[in-house]
Structures are given as structure tokens and as C-alpha cells.
């Protein structure tokens, strides 16, 4: 497997970084729903280094409408986080798993709003295959995102949630990438030494439509949990 020279620094970060280097919130001592996401990179001859992202359907119960790494909950039959991340990516995008080379499993990270304990899995797409949204109820679109676009200072900003939380974001492929996905990308790009200087003091309010989707899905998830608890 021939990896491009600059990618070695990202692979080193994936194998040496601690959870506190990568996340705002660390997993609780107990509890949380185990999940995994696939950080799938490859080189396109025309577009250079790329990473695969999906747009979640606006009908999803959690993180509705948000750009994200492909992935999902870890099932009992999965071969650990790596197996779950690849399986979920196949189910969401239709990619051929034979062309995916898993390189490293990163530390568990936590998403407090949904209660997921997420294991990011770094992989190389040595034989890219056609991908598209398999089930519109779960995935609205699949995106090949140029790493150069993620690094472009013109595409970088900080966003403020109405809760007061401020975090990094990216404007790429017509999407606003924010939340867990943007934070992990931000940390990885910086730790790998790829980051270019950009205006971290450029803070924008998170758009109302984005907040409405996020809050609606959260309200529905909380209502479902309460209904389950009440029997």
C-alpha cells in the first residue's frame, strides 16, 4: 500500500493522540452508546487528498441534517469498532469494502448531546468505488471533500450555538460542517501539522435552520427515551 508522504503525519497522530487531544468531551466512566465512524481518505488524481463525508437526512432522530463521517452504532456481531465503521459506511454509501484498508483506531470520544461514545477509525481507500446515498431516510448525500478545501483559511470559521458553545466549522461542498465532525477534523489537521493560519476570532452565529434541525431531533430522541422509560 502506497500512502502519500504527507499522510504519514496524520497516521502518526491517529496512533499516538490521546482522547483529550481530540475531543471537547471525554467519555463517562460508565454508560454511553458505543459507536464508530470511518475517517476514509484517498487521493484523486485531479483533486488530490480527499476525505469522505455524508449529509445525514433531516428526518433522522439524532444529528439530523448534519454533515458527518459515515458510521453508526456498534452491533454485537461487528468485528469491533473497525468492523462497525466499515459496515455502516457500506450500508450508507454502497462502497466496496474490499478497497478499504483500516490503518488505526483512535481513542473513544464522547458526544454528550446524543450520548454516543464514538471510536474514530482511520482508513485508506486504496481502490475507490462508486458511492451514493443508499437510503434517503438516513443519508441525504455523500461527499468527496478535498482536504485542500478544509485547509483553505477562506473556508474556516468558528460558530456559536445559542447555548453559548463556540466551536470550529468548515464551509465546503455547499455544506456547513460543525459539531463533533468539525471539531475532530480541526484537531486532526492541527496535530498533523497541516493547518494553515486562519481567523479563529471569526465567530458566526449558527444558522437558525441548522439549530432547529438539531433541536428537533434532540427533542424527539428525548421524548422517545422518556416513553421507553415509562413503559
DSSP assignment string, the chain: ----TTHHHHHHHHHH--HHHH-SSPPPSS--EEEEEEEEEEEETTTEEEEEEEEE-TT-SSSTT-EE-SEEEPPTTSSHHHHHHHHHHHHHH---GGGEEEEEEPPPEEETTTTEEEEEEEEEESS------S-TTTEEEEEEEEHHHHH-GGGEEEEE-TTS-EEEEEEETTEEE-HHHHHHHHHHHHHTT-PPP--TT-EEEPPHHHHHHHHHHHHHHHHHHHHHHH-
Full-model pTM:
0.91
pLDDT in the model for residue 60: 60
Note down pLDDT in tens along the chain; length 231 residues: 678 888 999 999 999 999 999 988 889 988 899 999 999 999 999 999 999 999 998 766 555 679 999 999 999 999 999 999 999 999 999 999 999 999 999 999 999 888 899 999 999 999 999 999 999 989 999 999 999 999 999 999 999 988 888 999 999 999 999 999 999 999 999 999 999 999 999 899 999 888 877 776 554 444 343 333 333
Q: Which CATH code for domain 7-230?
A: 3.90.79.10
Q: Where are the domains of the chain?
A: 7-230
Model pLDDT, residue 210: 86
Amino acid at each position: 500500500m502506497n500512502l502519500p508522504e504527507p499522510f504519514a503525519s496524520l497516521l502518526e497522530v491517529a496512533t499516538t493522540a490521546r482522547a483529550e487531544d481530540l475531543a471537547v468531551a471525554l467519555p463517562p466512566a460508565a454508560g454511553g452508546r458505543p459507536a464508530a465512524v470511518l475517517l476514509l481518505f484517498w487521493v484523486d488524481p485531479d483533486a488530490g487528498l480527499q476525505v469522505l463525508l455524508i449529509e445525514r437526512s433531516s428526518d433522522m432522530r439524532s444529528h439530523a441534517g448534519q454533515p458527518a463521517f459515515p458510521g453508526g452504532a456498534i452491533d454485537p456481531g461487528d468485528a469491533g469498532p473497525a468492523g462497525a465503521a466499515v459496515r455502516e459506511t457500506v450500508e450508507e454509501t454502497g462502497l466496496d469494502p474490499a478497497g478499504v484498508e483500516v490503518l488505526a483506531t483512535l481513542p473513544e470520544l464522547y458526544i454528550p448531546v446524543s450520548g454516543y461514545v464514538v471510536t474514530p477509525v482511520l482508513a485508506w481507500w486504496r481502490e475507490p468505488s462508486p458511492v451514493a446515498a443508499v437510503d434517503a431516510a438516513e443519508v441525504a448525500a455523500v461527499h468527496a471533500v478535498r482536504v485542500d478545501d478544509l485547509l483553505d483559511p477562506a473556508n474556516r470559521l468558528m460558530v456559536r450555538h445559542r447555548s453559548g458553545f463556540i466551536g470550529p466549522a468548515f464551509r465546503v461542498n455547499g455544506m456547513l460542517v460543525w459539531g463533533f465532525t468539525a471539531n475532530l477534523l480541526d484537531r486532526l489537521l492541527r496535530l498533523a501539522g497541516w493547518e494553515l493560519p486562519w481567523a479563529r476570532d471569526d465567530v458566526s452565529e449558527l444558522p437558525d435552520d441548522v439549530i432547529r434541525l438539531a433541536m428537533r431531533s434532540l427533542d424527539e430522541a428525548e421524548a422517545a427515551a422518556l416513553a421507553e422509560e415509562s413503559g
